[in-house]
Structure 1
Amino acid sequence: MRRIPFLFRCDGSPEIGMGHVRRCVALALALRDLGGEPVFVMRPIADTPLRVVEQAGFAVERVAGALDTAFTVDRAMAVGARCVVVDHYGATPADFRQLRAAGFQVAVIDDLADRDLGAANWVLNQNPDAVDMSYRVSPECRVLRGPAYALLRPEFSRIRQSQTRKFSANDRQVLVTFGGGATADTCAEVLVALNQAPRSFVVQCVLGGEGAATAGLDRAVADSKHEIRIIRNAENMADLMAAADVSVNAAGSTCWELCCLGVPMAILALAPNQAPNASALVRHGCACLAGFASQSGAIPETIAPLVTDLLTDPRRRSGMSARGRELVDGLGAHRAAQTLMDLSVTEE
């Protein structure tokens, strides 16, 4: 059977994080399982995003411009793609129209509903508040909304299927992760805040791949009452999450991975655009809001008592775990990929 080419356009960096890249890789893996042949176009602005894509087995075409649509069109034609998947806040309505005028189906992964997507054939927003967003799309556009389409890599579904969670008041495994854009300073402040807890934890602190070590982080680890392990460029995030009793994390795409594996969350919103996800997860009952980082980056002191309360209340965590697993089942990438494959076959 002839494999169907797809071209992905996304970027990642310490500033914008790894969420765009990781969810594109998840969708690309699902497309490959269904007979697709994805290729990526990316800016070489950081090593980690390129490495993540290449380690997943996908070719990467490097582009110099911020969002060079002409280059994207050229590469899509070169590989024979019929569909271009764009996950990029910098893409404009004019970029989408240019792709459509060149004869491609246009698929957009989006969070904000703040652009005219009239040229798109397919739009995906995996966030819970997507059902309340009004998208400017054509009547023929397929719009996929909500965590049923959360784009997770297949290892999360595999671990979920073999996982049996048990909760005890003696649990002490804490995961601290703020995604691929996490800085060492942010993690250091969380470790300092956790030092106010009345009991000691085992803390796995995962840093973004490009985050440089800082004196503040070294000092926070040295002064901590907890057992601290600093992990960079983690390639086993699903395993680390599965081993956690509680996670302290931002309200980005990492939340859907934690939901899938039933990890209770203490969410710290690091930016205004994370507030809707944070609120939705709290409403659903799978997370508690630790607070919002201030404009100066200060971490709320509520983290230590909140994590302590969660660890000493296994019944509460069991309920949070079950509700997280209800929200995200780990099959969203397959569902989304099947709709893209159906679209491509229909258009042939």
Structure 2
Amino acid sequence: MLLIRADASVSMGTGHIMRCLALAQAWRGQIGPVKFVSSEMPNRLIDRLKNESFEVIMNDAAAGSKEDLQHLKTLIDDEKAVRVVVDGYQFDDSYQQGLADHNCRVLFFDDYGHCSHYEADWILNQNLGADPALYDNRGGRTKLLLGSAYVLLRQEFLGLGVKSRPRRKQIENILITLGGSDAHNLTLPVLFALKQIAEKTMDVKVLLGPGNPHRSSIDDVLSEFPCSIEILDNVSNMAPTLSWTDIAICGGGSTNWEMAYFGIPRIVLIQADNQLLACQSLMMAGCASILDARHTFDEFQLINELRLLLTSTSLIQQMSHANQNIVDGHGVNRVLLEIAPDGSSSHN
């Protein structure tokens, strides 16, 4: 049994659950059963997990609290869990230490070194250029799994059977996706900016995640849009949409690794402090342009970046190749090889 402790909400987004889902799918396919444990999760995301036949155990304790930790330890014993995955910034070093003292082996997701000390068996930071120095203060048994070689992709992407498609010279298909919840409704000003420069030949899709509460305000912008535009709400399989996409405007979360796999040139909006380093690394690698939207939204900068992408075939090709070079689709298997119990290459 694998237990996954992770949460989702409008404020934190859905990325923690979705990347854990990639690991859950692979674990169940190669090793054994998986259950999710959560203190907070939108109903539509719970339904998504249940539709994939994953059990979701809800916990009333405050995330990261002593009560939360005790609830998880009790589940570990009751379920005879052989591994535990913990993903979320609300889980600190004391939470890790409590699990270590309980003699369970733990994979701990981390994006920017948010703990003062690390005691988990494995630390997974899949960001491009993840710095080992973030984890200098760690226990002797802690192993680091760092960088985009460990990017976790869900089966919907890997099952498509293609990494990318040739980039067309003329950009037509534009995807807007600002995360599973888009807490600050950045989709709205992005649409206003795109509306100013969109051409009739373009086709725009706006992807709204399972935690997005802003559908009504977004619908109001669609009238008199100069090109074809479609709202995709709570899509369970993103792979066909990414395969369709020429360029994208996206948030700074884990969707970037999915887009990298498909070689999609894009403009990335930094929505939170914990996304800054990862987004800067993507820009430095030539994978994307970035726009800092943590405090203010610069409509003119977005318009300028869009015009550059729409008119520069060479930039599109360079970005596409750079993206394909950082994510190869084998990350989830690399992680499984590290954390799987000995002799568990099939269901047990």
- Counterpart of 2:312 in structure 1 is 313
* Unaligned residue ranges in structure 1 (runs of 5+): none
User: What root-mean-square deviation, in Å, do the aligned CA atoms of Structure 1 and Structure 2 show?
Assistant: 2.0
Is 1:58 aligned to 2:54, yes or no? yes
- Rate the CA distance shift 1:130–1:276 in 2: closer, same or farther, 3 A: same
Q: Which one-letter code corresponds to 1:14 in the other structure?
A: V
Deviates more, 1:277-286 or 1:256-265: 277-286
Using the alignment, how far apart are the partners of 1:162 and 1:25 within structure 2?
A: 21
TM-score under structure 1 length normalisation? 0.90
- Counterpart of 1:90 in structure 2 is 90
Task: Map Cα deviations across residues 247-269 of structure 1 (whole Å, 9 max, x no partner).
Answer: 10111111000001111111111
Is 1:122 aligned to 2:118, yes or no? no
- Counterpart of 1:35 in structure 2 is 31
Give 3-state SS (helix, strand or coil) of 2:328's partner. coil
Give 3-state SS (helix, strand or coil) of 2:169's partner. coil
Deviates more, 1:238-247 or 1:212-221: 212-221
- Counterpart of 2:140 in structure 1 is 139
Number of corresponding residues: 338
Give 3-state SS (helix, strand or coil) of 1:144's partner. strand
Task: Map Cα deviations across residues 5-49 of structure 1 (whole Å, 9 max, x no partner).
Answer: 111100011110111001111111111222132211112442133
Is 1:24 aligned to 2:20, yes or no? yes
Task: Map Cα deviations across residues 283-316 of structure 1 (whole Å, 9 max, x no partner).
Answer: 1111112x21252x53432223322332333332
Give 3-state SS (helix, strand or coil) of 1:169's partner. coil
Using the alignment, how far apart are the partners of 1:54 and 1:125 within structure 2?
A: 27
Q: Which one-letter code corresponds to 1:131 in the other structure?
A: D
Give 3-state SS (helix, strand or coil) of 2:50's partner. helix
Using the alignment, how far apart are the partners of 1:142 and 1:152 within structure 2?
A: 21
- Rate the CA distance shift 1:337–1:88 in 2: closer, same or farther, 3 A: same
Kept after mapping to 2: 8 A contact 1:82/1:103: no
Is 1:100 aligned to 2:96, yes or no? no
- Rate the CA distance shift 1:301–1:133 in 2: closer, same or farther, 3 A: farther
Using the alignment, how far apart are the partners of 2:94 and 2:240 within structure 1?
A: 42
Q: Which one-letter code corresponds to 1:16 in the other structure?
A: M
* Unaligned residue ranges in structure 2 (runs of 5+): none
Kept after mapping to 1: 8 A contact 2:180/2:209: yes
- Rate the CA distance shift 1:167–1:294 in 2: closer, same or farther, 3 A: same
Give 3-state SS (helix, strand or coil) of 2:138's partner. coil
Which stretches of structure 1, 4 residues or longer, exceed 4 Å deviation after superposition? 342-345
Q: Which one-letter code corresponds to 1:18 in the other structure?
A: T
Q: Trace 1:286-325 onto structure 2 (pairs within 5 A).
A: 286-289=287-290, 291-293=291-293, 295=295, 297-325=296-324
Give 3-state SS (helix, strand or coil) of 1:222's partner. coil
Give 3-state SS (helix, strand or coil) of 2:245's partner. coil
Kept after mapping to 2: 8 A contact 1:7/1:84: yes
Give 3-state SS (helix, strand or coil) of 2:197's partner. coil
Q: Trace 1:1-348 onto structure 2 (pairs within 5 A).
A: 5-67=1-63, 68-135=68-135, 136-159=137-160, 161-162=161-162, 165-183=165-183, 185-197=185-197, 199-200=199-200, 201-213=202-214, 216-289=217-290, 291-293=291-293, 295=295, 297-342=296-341
Deviates more, 1:227-236 or 1:297-306: 297-306
1:184 Cα deviation after fit:
8.1
TM-score under structure 2 length normalisation? 0.90
Using the alignment, how far apart are the partners of 1:198 and 1:31 within structure 2?
A: 43
Using the alignment, how far apart are the partners of 1:44 and 1:198 within structure 2?
A: 39
- Rate the CA distance shift 1:197–1:107 in 2: closer, same or farther, 3 A: same
Using the alignment, how far apart are the partners of 1:12 and 1:232 within structure 2?
A: 17
- Rate the CA distance shift 1:284–1:343 in 2: closer, same or farther, 3 A: farther
Kept after mapping to 2: 8 A contact 1:190/1:299: no
